[in-house]
Amino acid sequence: MANSAWSEKILQLLRRMNNFYLPGSCRSKCWRFEINEAQVGWIPPHVASLLTRYPEVFSPPHGGAVSLCGSLDSYEKKSEAVDAVLQSLRQESSLTCLKGWRDEKYSVMPKFSDPPLMWMERAATSLFGVKRYGVHVNGYTVSDSGEVNMWLARRSLTKQTYPGLLDNVAAGGLAAGIGVKNTLVKECEEEACIPAAIAEKARPVTNVSYTYEDEDGVFAESQFVFDLELPLEFKPRAGDGEVQEFYLLPIDKVKELLATDDFKPNCAMVVLDFLIRHSFIEPDTEPCYQEFVAGLHQTL
Amino acid sequence: MANSAWSEKILQLLRRMNNFYLPGSCRSKCWRFEINEAQVGWIPPHVASLLTRYPEVFSPPHGGAVSLCGSLDSYEKKSEAVDAVLQSLRQESSLTCLKGWRDEKYSVMPKFSDPPLMWMERAATSLFGVKRYGVHVNGYTVSDSGEVNMWLARRSLTKQTYPGLLDNVAAGGLAAGIGVKNTLVKECEEEACIPAAIAEKARPVTNVSYTYEDEDGVFAESQFVFDLELPLEFKPRAGDGEVQEFYLLPIDKVKELLATDDFKPNCAMVVLDFLIRHSFIEPDTEPCYQEFVAGLHQTL
């Protein structure tokens, strides 16, 4: 693929993954989701109108915001009241995303540095545009001559989301109360059979953030990214059935794949960031260098 | 300094360097600066009213935008007509920033990947909120035991801007027509007497972008960042009189200095990015990790 066609594909990926910021997105029609007067998400109009049926949990939309009722005055009360609403909506089965119910609790707070105000079922977060945090690991090797190869996973065909697409060697969402490094070690073990003694050598290097919308709502996501140089003789193996196969690929091949539809989009972003940080993309030969970096770190 | 006080100082730095995005900034009062119907900057109201005196160069403000007249139909015509206006404003001396006239031509274009539409004197770019691009170099050493130290420059007391403050080992603006790596090699040589054979080993790693406003206008800046591991025995030396002294400091000391007013603010941002990429800051112990990364990559 010619350089400029590759760059254009990458820009398209970044635009798609940040389409909530584009003119014409549902953003101007969304309600702010507020708890204790602080914004914790964005509620699309079709969700806001469903929520009016639960006035004991959600105050009526007001001043551009939907808020939790003041009577829900603790972390547990908020979490349980919202969960009851979601369970009821799940049974009606009008909201497709709730069919992917996972029994995974995600923390809800205005910023990552704030104390969580409640937890919410993972499958429901897009209905409220609540920010989801996760961990992604770039697994790679460096040969004696300095050549870099990257391990990629092929997602299992039975995965609920993005079946059969390329993924980072390990990745996962941050469940309520679990630390970033602990999540990384757990996911490395479960998904790729990387023992803790190796996974713990992963180095935090950045955070990749983006917000996109689709028919399931607003996906505001923020991934903590780690680099993990794997021993040359080590081979990741499929662990929990989420991965069908692992490949060790030269960087040129990885770069080429980034511009195809074979990659889970947010994993492609994490790999793009790796290519930039490791100088496989240079500002004098990649005119969109600055746009690439900007597209990897969009926040409201 | 306690951890949380350090984090708060860093957040303040990032907010100040992105104050153009904050509620209450002049942004809502600025005119878009447009060339061929594409936005290339932001013109503050006091500048826009001065420009109405030059109707042969600037079309009257219209639809939120100030544009160059259509008769200026080439790169050279645009550049020379605007330069003549700036020379005239410079003589009136009502605009402080023009006292810092440098005879350095900066390219003006909507995005870095677009062909330049004109050049503009560096000292005037803030009057038009035109994005300025530059290069910053993190110079550092790694001891045999793996300990990292960073070289910092103390700016000369005679520098026009930020005299006496701490700076990266080398940095400079991208003049029209000069490449990123060439600028880096030139600045390393001129400011720090780093020979080209060493400077060329610098590796591009990211881009740091921010926009702030002050009494001189709107500073939209985008810095291409390079890491340069210097040989242990090499010592940078002041070259062109822009630096008074170089220090080699342990990372803990550098981190402490970041939260003081001793650093040129954008250089502190470049060093913060280094600390994140090199895992000297970790998400489990720095609650503001994600906000730090976001604050280093703000674009409109």
In this structure, are A73 and A220 located in the same domain? no
Of A112, A209, A294, the CB nearest to B287: A112
Contact of B111 with chain A, judged by CB distance below 8 Å, is answered with yes
Contact of B148 with chain A, judged by CB distance below 8 Å, is answered with no
A231 has a pLDDT exceeding 80: yes
In this structure, are B77 and B11 located in the same domain? no
Give the pLDDT band of residue B1 (cuts 50, 70, 90).
Answer: low
To the nearest whole Å, the CA of B289 is away from the closest chain A CA by 8
In this structure, are B29 and B117 located in the same domain? yes
**What pLDDT is attached to residue A3?**
80
Q: Which residues of B touch A276 (CB under 8 A)?
A: 204-206
Contact of A201 with chain B, judged by CB distance below 8 Å, is answered with no
Reported as a single tens digit per residue, the pLDDT across B115-161 is 999 999 999 999 999 999 999 999 999 999 999 999 999 999 999 89
Domain of B160, CATH number, reads 3.90.79.10
Q: Indicate whether B37 belongs to any domain.
A: yes
In this structure, are A142 and A289 located in the same domain? yes
Q: Provide, rounded to the nearest whole percent, the portion of chain A with pLDDT above 70.
A: 99
In this structure, are B16 and B35 located in the same domain? no
Q: Is B294's CB within 8 Å of A297's CB?
A: yes
Q: Indicate whether A195 belongs to any domain.
A: yes
Domain of B79, CATH number, reads 3.30.750.160
Q: Indicate whether B210 belongs to any domain.
A: yes
Give the pLDDT band of residue A71 (cuts 50, 70, 90).
Answer: very high
In this structure, are B15 and B164 located in the same domain? yes
**What pLDDT is attached to residue B9?**
98
Q: Is A181's CB within 8 Å of B112's CB?
A: no
B294 has a pLDDT exceeding 90: yes
Mean of pLDDT values over B201-216: 97
A294 has a pLDDT exceeding 80: yes
Bridge partners of A139, per DSSP, are: A151, A228
Give the pLDDT band of residue A1 (cuts 50, 70, 90).
Answer: low
**What pLDDT is attached to residue A33?**
98
Q: Indicate whether B291 belongs to any domain.
A: yes
Of B209, B224, B284, the CB nearest to A283: B224
Reported as a single tens digit per residue, the pLDDT across A84-138 is 999 999 999 889 999 999 999 999 999 999 999 999 999 999 999 999 999 999 9
At A62 the three-state DSSP class reads: strand
To the nearest whole Å, the CA of A46 is away from the closest chain B CA by 29
**What pLDDT is attached to residue A96?**
93
Reported as a single tens digit per residue, the pLDDT across B225-276 is 999 999 999 999 998 888 999 999 999 999 999 999 999 999 999 999 999 9
Reported as a single tens digit per residue, the pLDDT across A249-290 is 999 999 999 999 999 999 999 999 999 999 999 999 999 999
Give the pLDDT band of residue B205 (cuts 50, 70, 90).
Answer: very high
In this structure, are B109 and B159 located in the same domain? no
To the nearest whole Å, the CA of A93 is away from the closest chain B CA by 35
Pairing type for strands A31-35 and A65-67 reads parallel
B203: tokens are 């590796």
Last residue of a domain, one of A99, A128, A157: A128
Q: Which residues of B touch A288 (CB under 8 A)?
A: 112-113
Of A179, A291, A299, the CB nearest to B294: A299
In this structure, are B123 and B264 located in the same domain? no
d(CA B14, CA B263): 13
Q: Indicate whether B221 belongs to any domain.
A: yes
> Across chain A, which distance is largest between two alpha carbons, in Å?
65
In this structure, are A140 and A123 located in the same domain? no
Dihedral over alpha carbons B162, B168, B170, B171 (to 10 degrees): -60
Q: Which residues of A touch B290 (CB under 8 A)?
A: 111-113, 133, 207, 209, 222, 224
Domain extent, residue B86, equals 25-127
To the nearest whole Å, the CA of B12 is away from the closest chain A CA by 15
Contacts with B, A 33-72, CB within 8 Å: none
In this structure, are B120 and B184 located in the same domain? no
B49 has a pLDDT exceeding 90: yes
Reported as a single tens digit per residue, the pLDDT across B63-97 is 999 999 999 999 999 999 999 999 999 999 889 99
Q: Indicate whether A65 belongs to any domain.
A: yes
In this structure, are A183 and A207 located in the same domain? yes
Mean of pLDDT values over A209-232: 97
Q: How many domains does chain A have?
A: 2
**What pLDDT is attached to residue A2?**
67
B3 has a pLDDT exceeding 90: no
Last residue of a domain, one of A97, A128, A159: A128
Among residues A80, A79, A98, A81, the alpha carbon closest in space to that of A89 is found at A98
Q: Indicate whether B300 belongs to any domain.
A: no
Mean of pLDDT values over B166-178: 97
What φ, ψ does residue B111 adopt, rounded to 5°?
Answer: -135, 160
Q: Indicate which of B8, B113, B131 best probes the interface with A, i.e. most A CBs within 10 Å of its own CB.
A: B113
In this structure, are B60 and B188 located in the same domain? no
B180 has a pLDDT exceeding 90: yes
Reported as a single tens digit per residue, the pLDDT across A174-201 is 999 999 999 999 999 999 999 999 999 9
Contacts with B, A 214-253, CB within 8 Å: 222, 224
Number of residues in chain B: 300
Q: Indicate whether B93 belongs to any domain.
A: yes
Last residue of a domain, one of A94, A128, A162: A128
To the nearest whole Å, the CA of A223 is away from the closest chain B CA by 9
